Structure 1
Amino acid sequence: MTERRVVFVLAGLLLCALLPFALVRLPTMTDLFDHVGRFHVMLDAGRSPWRARYYRFDWHVVGNLGGDLIVAVIGPVLGVEAAARAMVALVPLLTIAGIAAVSRAVHGRVQPSAVVAACFVFGNPFHFGFVNYCLSLGLALLVFAAWVRMAERSLVSRLLVLTPLVLLVWVAHAMGWAVLALLVAGFEGTRLVQRGIGAPALRQVGAMVLAFVPPVVLTLSWRQGGGGALFSYGDTSELIERKVMTWVTILRGGDPVLDIGVPILLLLAVGVLLWRRSLVIDPRMAAGGVLLSIACTVMPATIFSSWAADERIAPAAAIALALSLRSRGRARDAWALMLLAAALFVVRTAEMTGRWYAADRRYAHALTALDLVPRGARISAVVLDDACHTGWAANGWSHLPGLAIVRRDALVNSQWPLVGAPLLRVVYPAPVQWVHDPSQHVPAFGCGTPGLSALHRRIAATPRAYFDYLWVLNTRGARDPWPGRAPLYRDADSALFRLSAR
């Protein structure tokens, strides 16, 4: 099979991947809408008296700036919501380009297994809306491809080119830098074993470690005096179950049958072709995939305030392991693997597109409520959740209130209270437990008969001195969210109430 045909299929998958962004205004990614709220404050630069009263945005050199820097450049031209959508659309573009670049660098030409790797672009981290990490993963793959291609160049030339590129990945997101470091460790370690572990080779590898030193220094500076725990495993009583589920949920975010079935089908197909000896494994790439798998299994759930840090690594491990596969010239088997992977990619993307389109219309109806509040409104948002379990499909309700910042210069209570030099801080002098995520979450569904008693307790406890409006989201058609109080706005998914006079 010629490389041109594989590249043609990857280009088709990229066009398919971009289609959802062309059809919706608001991609359904769980955390995205509060990112957009932060971007809006960033672009405003304190000009609005309301935003200046509620929020402060301070630039810091931290390993978590990928989307912010992109929107800072294109936001003034496109507007913040369109810029955010364009920024997120860069994720499949960078990642698929990185997959093709790594495949070519490692194997000499783009392999059909690159199409298998592409099936993990829209993974769990993407649907959760970890946009900076997803951008950094695409960059990490591109930089790793450059690292492989320059493997035989002089040490000085490699350091001059690769050091700033490694730093760029860290600036996008520190976890993407960690992925790059493990890919490089696997590649260089395997080459070291293949060539013989001697003093000259050790000096060469040791010297290349210098490319990763600047981000380490910046990380230590970033974290100095930042407060909060550096890492956390969460509830250790469920640690083993959670680690197993990390691999089960590697593609979680859409239809569970597809999200679980796609990796299983791909794994079975690859297993058959390995058994038939139609595929071979390149150890230089496989070593990085194994290191990423080990890291995903043993690392904490939260690192540097980044929740689900271990879950983010799982799709990267799958991509690396897929990219280690090289076809042995059996065209029929290569075509079968590539067409199976391409079909699975298209089916999942079609499901995502339909789900995004339906959700986009529901979000648009709920956001109509903001037309009834004045600029600078203080909104206490409530998102009704399942009490017993987290749903499989991603939705944006929990952070949809962040768009009130964009559209009404409002104070809302869904931004994250990150530690360690956060870019956005809430400066409004309200009780901290009422102005940050997860204060918007209220259990209402599941565990038998749905009930709104927790919502009613929340309404009674809401401090009227600090908020003007109550915005209840994800009501799922529940009647009388606030018994005896007429809503200013109501639809099947939301209701807006006046709390008090200003």
Structure 2
Amino acid sequence: MHVPWWSRRDYNALLILLMVLPLLWPAVIPLEDLPGHMGRFRIQAGVSDAPTLAETFSIHWMPVGNLGIDLIVLALQPVLGIELATKLAIILLIITLLVGLLIVIKEAHGEIPATAAFALPLAYAYPFQFGFVNFWLASGLALLIFGLVLRYQRLERSRAWRLLILFGSLAIYFAHIFGWVFFALMVGGNSLYRHFKHYGLTRTAIRDIILEGLLLCLPLVFIALWRSTDSGGETSSYFDIFHKWGWIESSLRDRWVQLDGQSALGCVALIILGLVGALRMNPRLLTILAVLTAFYLFIPFAFHGLIYADMRIAPLLLAIGIAALAPRAIMGKRVAAMLAIAALVFVCVRTAAMTYSYVLASDDQENYLLALDHIPKGSRVVALVAPDCPRGWSGSRITSLASMAIVRRDAFVNAQFEMPGAQLVAVSPSIPREFAYGTSSLVRLPDCDRPEPKLAERIDQIPYDAFDHVWLLGVGPNDRPSVPQLRLVWSNNQSAVYAIASK
């Protein structure tokens, strides 16, 4: 039987390799929150050789659902170091998600259809650009394991697919709890499709759906242990339809407003073509799409302390919608080939745009990080960061960049995430609470209408006795302070380092 070129393994393997290209150049992949993660990785790797880190940070081990990239880097860093280990982990993340998505598509359709490649650029969706790397790894694992579940269901290997759901749920949970939710939604949608297709709404179908749902429950044991020591966090902003559409439109948001927005709208248009019958939609994946859509409309912006909850689901919704598509048989091979070529062009354009964007962002980051050569190893640093005003389409790539002082200089810096119960690292009481975490580093410049406090106010509030240096990021020469406690050590057009004069 002749296999069309867009369905061949070697072609799709080349697509995956092509889509890794944006990650190869940057020394630090320029995702907004990634430097904050890297600072945590450095602390978790052990601080016995870094007295300042040992004095200012503590680690509290518990079964949190937020450890995916952390565990990979922890395993790789003794050989590769934190930065290279992180880069390799992010590359593995993207490959996992792409392979998982293609397996789901192949198992649902029986082959990879000509439209499949349209879904691949969503691997670089906005949650990834934001640096939600543990969630994005968990989503990739969810797709990969779900694809294998579909395969073993097709082969009628009941024990194998049940064990995959049971133990796969646990692996996905430890990567990130919300990835487990995504996996549960896919498994639930698939179960609805399978049982209603064969039996309709009968007692047997309902019983089997419930039994399959119980296979997903193993992580609940660890959630009970984890959340018993946690307040649970905020839940807010239900049914904000305007923002729901905004997250869909922003699914491929990076740097290029028109290209990114139109690319996302193109994905929506493709799904609409399937819904109106112009393209064929796989009924299994269509059922899962319906379940995900209902969840997306219900889930609030903040859910038990997890912010951007609905934003994280939006690109996965598009990915499953496109995965459900295939050309109709009556279209013929020529139309299918044209669709496959259009999908290839889409992948190439998105990859080229992403590669160039990352080169620009990486060069910008390295310009800021020149400051680290002027911060002594083991220093205690107050970072004050002025994000872009107003926040642009590409967001700010510097909000957690100061954490690279932890990675490269073994220094304390107030740039770690404040997420009680959601991560293992906490700042010790030796650091004044008001300058302990990343939220204390954000400031605004005089003419900027943002909610953060003014730079001058934060400069006045610094407990100078507790720190050695002040590092300004995103503050130009005209906005920098002139106070007797600070002595300028180094500066460029974007960044400045001050020694505290009394030290």
Q: Quick one: distance in 2 between partners of 1:463 and 1:91? A: 40
1:289 is the counterpart of 2:306: no
Any residues of structure 2 matched to 1:470-481 within 5 Å, and which? 470-475=470-475, 477-481=476-480
Answering whether residue 218 of structure 2 is matched by residue 218 of structure 1, we say no
- Separation in structure 1 between the aligned mates of residue 62 and residue 358 of structure 2, nearest angstrom: 33
Aligned length: 494
Does structure 2 conserve the Cα–Cα contact (< 8 Å) formed by 1:386 and 1:446? no
SS state at 1:69 partner: helix
Q: Secondary structure at the match of 1:381?
A: strand
Pair 1:400-2:404 in alignment: no
Matches of 1:226 and 1:273, distance apart in 2? 44
Partner SS for 1:397: coil
Aligned residue identity for 1:168: A
Aligned equivalents of 2:303, 2:290: Cα separation in 1: 21
Letter in 2 for 1:309: A
Q: By how many angstroms is 1:68 displaced?
A: 0.8
Q: In structure 2, list runs of 5 or more residues that go unmatched.
A: none
CA distance in 1, matches of 2:311, 2:11: 28
Relative distance call for 1:5 and 1:172 in structure 2 (3 A) is same
SS of corresponding position for 1:84 = helix
Decide whether aligned partners of structure 1 residues 187 and 50 sit closer, same or farther in structure 2, where only a CA change above 3 A counts.
Answer: same
Is the 8 Å Cα contact of residues 286 and 324 (structure 1) preserved in structure 2?
A: yes
Contact in 1 for aligned 2:445/2:479 (Cα 8 Å): no
> For the residues of structure 2 that align with 1:478 and 1:333, how far apart are their CA atoms?
58
Q: Give the deviation of 1:266 after TM superposition.
A: 3.5
CA distance in 1, matches of 2:479, 2:180: 49
Q: Deviations over 1:307-355 (max 9, x none)?
A: 2111001111111111111333322332233322322222222222222
Structure 1 residue matching 2:221: 3-state secondary structure: helix
- By how many angstroms is 1:274 displaced? 6.7
Residue 200 of structure 1 is matched in structure 2 by 204
The CA deviation at 1:492 is 1.7
Q: In structure 2, what is the Cα distance between the partners aligned to 1:269 and 1:161?
A: 32
Give 1:93 deviation, angstroms.
Answer: 0.5
Paired letter, 2:69:
G
**Is the Cα contact below 8 Å between 1:464 and 1:500 reproduced in 2?**
no
1:447/1:407 Cα in 2 relative to 1: closer, same or farther (>3 Å)? closer
Query: 1:43, 1:494 → 2: CA distance?
Result: 29
CA deviation after TM superposition for structure 1 residue 30, in Å: 0.4
Provide the rounded CA distance (Å) in 1 between the counterparts of 2:203 and 2:153: 18
1:333–1:271 CA distance, 2 compared to 1 (3 A): farther
Q: Is the 8 A contact 2:30 2:365 kept in 1?
A: no
Whether the aligned pair in 1 keeps the contact of 2:254 and 2:393 (CA below 8 Å) is yes
1:48 deviates by: 2.1
Determine if contact 1:266/1:341 at 8 Å carries over to the other structure. no
Change in CA separation of 1:176 and 1:276 when aligned onto 2, cut-off 3 Å:
closer
Measure how far apart 1:140 and its partner are. 0.5
Q: Which amino acid in 1 is paired with 2:312?
A: R
1: CA distance, partners of 2:414 / 2:269: 46
| Separation in 2, partners of 1:205, 1:136 | 24
Q: Deviations over 1:215-253 (max 9, x none)?
A: 122212211131242x4225x7x9343223122211222
Match of 1:173 in 2: 176
- Tell me the residue number matched to 2:346: 344
Moved more, 254-263 or 335-344: 335-344
Counterparts of 1:45 and 1:411, CA distance in 2: 12
- Partner of residue 431, structure 1: 432
Against the structure 1 CA distance between its residues 205 and 266, is the aligned structure 2 distance closer, same or farther, given a 3 Å change threshold? closer
CA distance in 1 between partners of 2:33 and 2:428 (Å): 21
- What is the DSSP-based 3-state SS (H/G/I as helix, E as strand, rest coil) of the residue aligned with 1:482? coil
Q: Which moved more, 1:339-348 or 1:197-206?
A: 197-206
TM-score by length of 1: 0.92
| Farther off after superposition, 289-298 or 267-276 | 267-276
Deviates more, 1:480-489 or 1:361-370: 480-489
User: Structure 1 residues 445, 114: CA separation in 2 closer, same or farther (over 3 Å shift)?
Assistant: farther
Supply the distance in 2 between the matched residues of 1:208 and 1:297 (Cα, whole angstroms): 24
- The question of whether the paired residues in 2 share the 8 Å contact of 1:33 and 1:396 is answered with no
Correspondence list, 1:433-472, <5 A: 433-444=434-445, 454-472=454-472
Measured at CA, do residues 9 and 447 of structure 1 come closer, stay the same or move farther in structure 2, by a change above 3 Å?
farther
Q: Taking structure 1 as reference, are residues 132 and 99 closer, same or farther at Cα in structure 2, changes over 3 Å only?
A: same
Residues 12, 394 of structure 1: CA spacing in aligned structure 2 closer, same or farther, 3 A cutoff? farther
Question: In the alignment, is the contact (CA less than 8 A) between 1:381 and 1:472 conserved in 2?
Answer: yes
Look up the match of 1:185: 188
Contact 2:68–2:174 at 8 Å: present in 1 too?
A: yes
Q: Which amino acid aligns with 2:478?
A: R
Q: 1:352 to 1:428 in 2, by over 3 A?
A: farther
The residue identity in structure 1 corresponding to 2:320 is A
Change (3 A) 1:255 1:343: same
C-alpha distance in 2, partners of 1:391/1:52? 37
Report the secondary structure of 2:416's partner residue.
coil
Deviation at 1:173, TM superposition (A): 0.8
Cα deviation code 1:32-62 (max 9, x no counterpart): 0010011011112544222110111233212
CA RMSD of aligned residues (A): 2.4
Distance 1:445 1:214, change over 3 A: farther
Shift of 1:269: 4.7
Q: Which amino acid aligns with 2:74?
A: A
The one-letter amino acid paired with 2:383 is A
Whichever residue aligns with residue 494 of structure 2, its letter is D
Alignment partner, residue 494 of structure 2: 493
Which residue does 1:307 correspond to in 2?
Answer: 307
Cross-structure match for 1:41: 43
Q: Distance in 2 between matches of 1:276 and 1:159?
A: 34
What does the per-residue CA deviation read over 1:146-186, in whole Å, with 9 as the maximum and x for residues that have no partner? 22122263544433343112211111111111111111111
Deviations 1:475-499 (A, max 9, x none): 3x44251236652111121111112
| Greater mean deviation of Cα atoms: 71-80 or 244-253 | 244-253
Specify whether residues 497 and 431 from structure 1 end up closer, same or farther in structure 2 by C-alpha distance, changes over 3 A only.
Answer: same
In the alignment, is the contact (CA less than 8 A) between 2:106 and 2:112 conserved in 1?
yes
Q: Separation in 2 of the partners of 1:139 and 1:158?
A: 15
- What is the DSSP-based 3-state SS (H/G/I as helix, E as strand, rest coil) of the residue aligned with 1:30? coil
Matched-pair contact (CA < 8 Å) for 1:36–1:406: yes
In the alignment, is residue 25 of structure 1 matched against residue 24 of structure 2?
A: no
Q: CA deviation at 1:72?
A: 1.1
1:203-223 superposed Cα distances (whole Å, 9 cap, x missing partner): 333222232111122212211
Q: Give TM-score scaled by structure 2 length.
A: 0.92
Q: 1:352 to 1:430 in 2, by over 3 A?
A: same
Q: Structure 1 154/85 Cα, relative in aligned 2: closer, same or farther at 3 Å?
A: closer
Contact 1:369/1:496 (CA < 8 Å) preserved in 2?
yes
Alpha carbons 1:155, 1:204 under 8 Å: kept: no
Residues 382-424 of structure 1, C-alpha deviations (whole Å, 9 max, x = no match): 111245x422114421111111001111111111111226311
Change (3 A) 1:258 1:61: same
Q: 1:162 pairs with 160, 165, 189, which one? A: 165
Q: Quote the residue 1:412 is aligned against.
A: 413
**Partner residue in 2 for 1:120:** 122
- Relative to structure 1, the CA distance from residue 444 to residue 342 in structure 2 (aligned partners, 3 Å threshold; closer, same or farther) is farther
For residues 189 and 48 of structure 2, what CA distance do their matches in structure 1 show?
46
Give distance in 2, aligned partners of 1:335 and 1:446: 54
